[in-house]
Amino acid sequence: MISVLLAAHCGEKYIAAQVASILSQMADGDELLVSDDSPEARPETHDIVLSFNDERIRYMQGPRRGVIKNVEFLLGQAHGDILVLCDQDDVWMPDKIERTYARMVELEQRWGEDSPCLVHTDLRVVSEDLGVMSDSFKKNTFANWDRTLLRDQIIQNTATGCTVMYNRALGELVTAIPDHLVMHDWWISLVAAAFGHIGYIEDQTILYRQHESNQIGVTDMRKLTYKLRRLLNPAQVRADIRKTYPQAQEFLEVFRPRLSEDQIRLLSDYCAIPTRGKLGRILEAARLGTWKTGLSRNIAYLLFI
């Protein structure tokens, strides 16, 4: 059984297309959980979702505490052995579930069903009216998806949340999502890196819609203008680096009993980087191997760590 988790918030403009694209590829025994975090005064999302009149849909009122807590609420409601995250404003390509699940089966056959496994994919970036803006989100971001170790993931998440599928073994480790983290998909990737395995599909399985209300948009990191903006905005680069430390500390505190001695040492040393001087921070990052992907990212990292 597959549980698709859709955290909604005032999503009436685009959610119908997304729900339709999901239902068209779900099996009879699967479920689509929609947790609507919209204010009570906005019933539109409720009406649109229930207008599908599909028994596989479970509509719920969300906790109204933000997207992370809304996802956490959904995690506690899911019944499936396979869990899939999605956004309200995207559109799934017709074979997303089939192809992602096939990769999941490969991972479980190799590592065992009791091993926490996560699969993510590429995306096709599209405009508000679904016009293609970029054929590959992965190419836009210079992503290196082979960087799946814990030391890789504590500095940079490589899995885009709205493409993620993971198994029940991983789901049992992420039933609660703590407060001091960057985003829920990053937290789930950390868990998979520490205790299981991360796989991927190079092809695109989602139309990743860009519009004025996106919480997290897409920037073409290949452009020189983007690289210059980053170098000329040290405050933002430093903020992006610094927010990884409390997340790593939270991870250490939550999972310390499960972590190996090497993992505990890695996380402890990483969390201590801000207490060092500039040269010490650089040397410690180099010793731990906590590098980002791409030359320009690492230049900014060394300049502003």
Whether 235 shows a pLDDT value over 90: the answer reads no
Q: Which residues are CB-neighbours of 161 under 8 A, at least 6 positions away?
A: 85, 87, 183, 184, 185, 188
The SS3 call for residue 291 is coil
Mean pLDDT of 264-281: 97
**CA–CA–CA angle 92, 94, 98 (5° rounding):** 100
Q: What is the pTM of this model?
A: 0.91
In this predicted model, which residue has the larger pLDDT, 211 or 49?
49
Whether 92 shows a pLDDT value over 90: the answer reads yes
Residue 39: predicted pLDDT:
82
Measured distance CA(144)–CA(127) in Å, rounded: 25
SS3 labels along 120-138: EEEEEEECCCCCEEECCHH
Q: Which residues are CB-neighbours of 218 under 8 A, at least 6 positions away?
A: 125, 133, 134, 137, 140, 208, 210
Whether 230 shows a pLDDT value over 70: the answer reads no
Q: Are 115 and 35 in contact (CB under 8 A)?
A: no
Which residue from 58, 67, 78 is spatially nearest to 38, judged by alpha carbons?
67
**Domain boundaries along the sequence of the chain:** 2-209, 224-304
Q: For 2-209, which CATH class?
A: alpha beta
Average pLDDT score over the chain:
92
